[in-house]
Amino acid sequence: MSTRTVHLAVYDTFADWETGHTTAHLTQNGFTVRTVGPTTGPVTTMGGVRIQPDLALGELDPEDSALLILTGAHLWDAGDDLAPFAAKARAFLDAGVPVAAICGATAGLAREGLLDDRDHTSAVSFYLGATGYKGGDHYREADAVTDRGLITAGPTEPVAFAREVFARLGVYEGEKLDAWYRLFHDSDASAFAVLNS
């Protein structure tokens, strides 16, 4: 990996709670997180937080990124406003740069055809089925799934989502990755000692 910059897509109705674990632990482990909006104009998250994107989507080049993160948002199911983000995800995957999508972003990727031949998950299978995509046979009932550079997770699994990102980027590995997950997913206090050894 030539860069330690991760790009977090932000847009109106962005589900701000879905990537808190991911971005916090990436920055604590030497990565830089830069936000990417439709433009550089401010966006408002589902939680009412205003974010000023670092750059516009048109300026984003996969060569400058270690990973693109796409979160859920009401806009994924309200029209085509976020379709350019799904198209950018295709460009990332075509360039060999991983993409991580959670919640409604998985529906956007389904519409883009990116889940037609990759194992994946989401909220529930019929949610993606409603997009008309052709990947139903590749749907997995799992907290999070990684297949050929694409990480997917449902809306209730931000910790499992983060675990897959950390594994992909080498943030935590082996026992430490397992300990991180047990600490934050299972509230297993014994994992704290392993994680900090």
For the annotated catalytic residues, the residue numbers are 103
Q: Residue 151 in contact with residue 169, Cβ under 8 Å?
A: no
- β-pair partners for 131: none
| Amino acid found at 112 | E
CA distances from 189 to 23, 163, 185 (A): 22, 17, 11
Q: Which of 143, 74, 86, 75 is nearest to 110 (CA)?
A: 86
3-class DSSP state for residue 65?
coil
d(CA 28, CA 121): 28
Cβ partners under 8 Å of residue 4, min gap 6: 30, 31, 32, 66
- β-pair partners for 34: 7
